[in-house]
Structure 1
Amino acid sequence: MHRVLDILATEDGDVSEVVNRFRDIENTALRTAFHNCAVLLRMLEAQAGLTPTWEGGPGAETQQAVASNTKSTDSSPPTKNAPKRRFTPQELQPFVDETQRGKVSVAKVYVDGASRGNPGPAGIGVALFTMDGKKIAQISRAIGTTTNNAAEYTALIEALKLAKDLGIQQLYVLSDSQLMVNQMTGRYKVKHPQIAEFVAQAQELAKQFAKVSFHFIERENNRLADALSTAPIAKIPNQRTDSSSQELMALLDDNPDEGRTE
């Protein structure tokens, strides 16, 4: 028999305290029961066509709540049918909410990189949220001329630095780059020397956290980070490159099957 010592009440979608409580559990049987409940919840969400809070895009929690009360024959996630949102310039301004520094232990971060021309003018976008959807920081800036993959990894590295600086201990990294996610999780081997350097740097930064996990999400669920990455390069004039070898290497670098291990 186990006695309930207290009852945990949080805002909808906020699992940070639940995560902290789980880490405090020392009894093996209780940890197993907790884990099994989480697995069952994920299965039920999958059957209902929903996604966990950290895997949906900003605002996905509201869309999921509406979908759960609406019958539909469409089994695709609700966010895929949502109209594309246009962000205002004010919504894309870089910022850091200093009032949250050291107060958030678990967070999710959306990352994206863009290169026009590949290689070409590139930008990065990072949006850091608490687990209940409060945005506490974001990055939007140009990074010079580089490839899509280099921009994706630059965004990841800057996201890890930002989260660490704010005192985040556990971080869910969300990206629409399947190649980057698979390389960071070890599913794909890394052959490109420049990308290997990015991976090594990101892995070293990840070691500074209690836990970092990498998750692939559809581009529709990463619209804010996408907008943050493209905004800085939108006004840069097009510059056509005459180097066919550069274009070929960029295409090879963006091959999603590069280094597949299975």
Structure 2
Amino acid sequence: MLKADLTGKRALVTGGASGIGLATAKLLAASGAAVAINHLPEDARGAEAVETLRRMGATALAAPGSVAESDSADAMVRQAAEALGGLDILINNAGTPGALEPIPFADLDAMTEEFWGKILSTNLIGPFRCTRAAVPFLRESRGCIVSTASIAGLGGNASSLAYGASKAGLINLTRNLAKALGPDIRVNAVAPGLTRTPWTDTWPQERKDRSMANTMLQRMVEPEDIADAMLFLCAASAVTGQTIVVDCGRFSF
């Protein structure tokens, strides 16, 4: 686990109720930050995540809302920042694969307009919505943004064509937001490989074994591995416009 002193910093983590988001929220809290955890309003795991951070002795609050909906995302970010007394860190982690099982790239008919809309609204436009709402607060604090991309956005395996395209767009958005918001706000991303999350927990072990066999470290990425990279990017004051790959050293995409 990496360590950094974030005492006095205020962070908002979208999609923070489980997986990568929860691991990142816990690490930021352990580093001294006050943390707002965003989750879908109907997700009971949100309250549990907030309570987990409070038991750690951290200042934590719930920030329910959907990043896939413009009004909801805007209100969620604004209310969270106001409740925290400002904002220093935005973690754009909320995302969706859009399906319970991977969709073969050749199955174009399975990727309907509705499917594409859900993927793009959550994975690409969602981070933009949250960033736009957070900018006034982050400019004041000279803060930073870190988004969860994917090696799928760099040409790696993806759960669908739409998912890969959304993450490629997010990587491009990261680079261009860094240009647009500098020098006041740093913007970076982390691109995970196959990571142990509630979604991949449902996969057959054989599928996970095949993926692990194609990595130098012969294992899956853990949410805590991504959290470490997130923390590094929050603390690294001269790094912006970058996407760091954390994939256990895949031999190829």
| TM-score for both structures, normalised by structure 1 | 0.33
User: When you count strand as a share of all residues, which structure comes out higher?
Assistant: 1
Larger Rg: 1
